[in-house]
Structure 1
Amino acid sequence: MQRFAILLALALTVPTIAAPAPCGNTSSGFEVWKKDFAKQAKRAGVKKKGLQALAQSQYATRTIAADRNQKSFKYSLDKFMRVRGADAIVSQGRKRKARNPQFYAALERQYGVPSGVLIAIHGMETGFGNFMGDSQVVSAITTLAYDCRRSDFFIPHAIGALKLVDQGSITTRTQGAKHGELGHTQFLPGNALTYGVDATGDGQVDFYNMTDALASTANFLRKKGWKTGRGYQPGQPNFAVIQQWNAASVYQQSIAIMAARIDG
């Protein structure tokens, strides 16, 4: 009896560790989850501005709808390329390269990535910056971190987005794609934080500036193992690096095909 009393006393004096707030598939638990996630974010190094951005974020219903309805990646390669306007991307991409060859050549010299690859990604992601999204990045990415479907994947990107707010690269008003991708080439926030390059030298990494965005994209590919002068078609060394940019097979093949046509 005395031993039981001692154990009970010890149990009462040991501080309890709060269990993390559960993920959810509706908006009902989002506000509670945010308060818990703020503790995790703070431990990860997110500071005042980032935590304020998290507190202001809202459950992004359109993001969830988009995440449940990604049909285009299930198309055949031919249909995917038609739907995504591959011929127009190649045509416009060749013109862009011809108008500014020194810019793309400088990127290739520095990072080893051919012009066609960067141009194809730029065209595929945002139509060369013509549409970079209409969803608030912080709200979109925190919603996906909360959502049970892929929370483990998106939590590091949510923390990345909050750190980008701390750094001044984005704000709570910054808009991007429905999955939280941002800028000219639609970086996920965690990747933006890791691979972003201030190519303009103005002291700020700005993914809505084409120079910074394309240099950052080239830096991502180089850091993922791009081998200068080697091929990037399926079966060649650099195709595996293109696969690091997007997980969809039809996307990867399309980039390789369009890049070769642009560079050809």
Structure 2
Amino acid sequence: MLRQTIAALAIVTAPAATAATCGNDSSGFERWKQQFAQEAAALGVGASGLRALADARYSQSTINADRNQTGVRYELDDFIRIRLGSLDNFAAQARRVKARAPQYYASLEQVYGVPAGIILAIHGMETGFGRTMGNTPVIDSITTVAYDCRRSDFFTPHAIAALQMVDRGMLAPDQRGAAHGELGHTQFLPGNALRYGVDADANGRIDLYSVSDALASTANFLRQKGWRPGAPYQEGSHNFRVLNEWNAATVYQQAIALSALRIDG
């Protein structure tokens, strides 16, 4: 599910006059890659990122998923039933996950001010606590939607960011993720992974497929978007509005907040 706006993303695209020509099917993808490589190089993408771009393949599965999106139109009760099963069962599962590393979740709240319940709710809702992180090559999917004319302006900065992540060792060229290039335990878009990513395990590399890095990055994202430590997060509060930065669907925000309240208990 797409979320995480890029209004503040510190990545600029090349001037429109030199922009690669978008398309609506696979026929122009190879030509677009050659043009886009020039843009990417001008924006500082290095040899590793450019090789990943050269190897990228048009992802028909990504286009199929994009064309078939209907948006979140469920009532809250239906959304919870379909996505979570039930709030109580979901919260119980999250508490079991928390019990494996309670000090880690306490440290996230201490550093970023975001309660464990919020982080666990996002982790569980996005990937089932890391069980389903996607099976589409990230570089394939993100370059495909950057090439596609429907939302090229939105996805082009994320495509540049993904190539920069390859250069920095943050993303393997063949790493798999979700259909629109979302990656890792909490499904960051590449531009936000680059901007808000945290090396929580201090191994010298930000890796959104590492649970510690991914959850710290999620907490950092929310804090940077205006999360107020110690403040309430239920509907109508300032912190609830911050959840809109993660996902614009109101039922998604409501499910996060209601789940977190049960998890934090």
How do residues 1-264 of structure 1 correspond to structure 2 at under 5 angstroms? 19-71=18-70, 73-87=72-86, 88-264=89-265
> What amino acid does structure 2 have at the position aligned with 1:202?
N
Structure 1 or 2: more helix by fraction: 1
Question: 1:73-110 CA deviation, whole Å, 9 max, x = no partner?
Answer: 12222211111125243221022223322111111000
CA distance in structure 2 between the partners assigned to 1:227 and 1:110 by the alignment: 12
- Deviation (angstroms), 1:21: 3.2
CA distance in structure 2 between the partners assigned to 1:40 and 1:197 by the alignment: 27
| Same amino acid, percent of matched pairs | 60
Question: 1:34-61 CA deviation, whole Å, 9 max, x = no partner?
Answer: 1111111112111111011111101111
Q: CA separation of 1:80/1:70 partners in 2, compared to 1, >3 Å: closer, same or farther?
A: farther
CA distance in structure 1 between the partners assigned to 2:191 and 2:26 by the alignment: 24
Larger Rg: 1
- Deviation (angstroms), 1:206: 1.1
What TM-score comes out, normalization by structure 2 length? 0.90
Q: Which has the higher contact order (CA 8 A, sep 6+)?
A: 2
Q: CA separation of 1:153/1:181 partners in 2, compared to 1, >3 Å: closer, same or farther?
A: same
Q: Are the equivalent residues in 2 in contact too, given 1:157–1:190 (CA < 8 A)?
A: yes
Structure 1 equivalent of residue 9 of structure 2: none
CA distance in structure 1 between the partners assigned to 2:262 and 2:44 by the alignment: 44
Q: CA RMSD in A?
A: 1.5
CA distance in structure 2 between the partners assigned to 1:86 and 1:38 by the alignment: 45
Q: Are the equivalent residues in 2 in contact too, given 1:89–1:124 (CA < 8 A)?
A: no
CA distance in structure 2 between the partners assigned to 1:234 and 1:103 by the alignment: 27
- Deviation (angstroms), 1:68: 1.7
> What amino acid does structure 2 have at the position aligned with 1:121?
I
- Deviation (angstroms), 1:19: 4.7
Q: CA separation of 1:154/1:18 partners in 2, compared to 1, >3 Å: closer, same or farther?
A: closer
- Deviation (angstroms), 1:71: 3.5
The alignment of Structure 1 onto Structure 2 pairs a total of residues equal to: 248
Q: Matched residue of 2:238: which SS?
A: coil
CA distance in structure 2 between the partners assigned to 1:86 and 1:150 by the alignment: 33
Q: Are the equivalent residues in 2 in contact too, given 1:221–1:241 (CA < 8 A)?
A: yes
CA distance in structure 2 between the partners assigned to 1:182 and 1:154 by the alignment: 14
> What amino acid does structure 1 have at the position aligned with 2:31?
V
Question: 1:183-213 CA deviation, whole Å, 9 max, x = no partner?
Answer: 1111100000011111101101111111111
- Deviation (angstroms), 1:18: 6.5
Q: Matched residue of 2:54: which SS?
A: helix
Any unmatched runs of 5+ in structure 1? 1-16
- Deviation (angstroms), 1:20: 3.0
Question: 1:152-183 CA deviation, whole Å, 9 max, x = no partner?
Answer: 11111101100000001112210001111111
Question: 1:227-260 CA deviation, whole Å, 9 max, x = no partner?
Answer: 1011112210111211101122221221111111
Q: Matched residue of 2:72: which SS?
A: helix
Any unmatched runs of 5+ in structure 2? 1-15
Q: Are the equivalent residues in 2 in contact too, given 1:63–1:178 (CA < 8 A)?
A: yes
Which deviates further from its counterpart, 34-43 or 57-66?
A: 34-43
Q: Are the equivalent residues in 2 in contact too, given 1:132–1:176 (CA < 8 A)?
A: yes
CA distance in structure 2 between the partners assigned to 1:67 and 1:229 by the alignment: 38
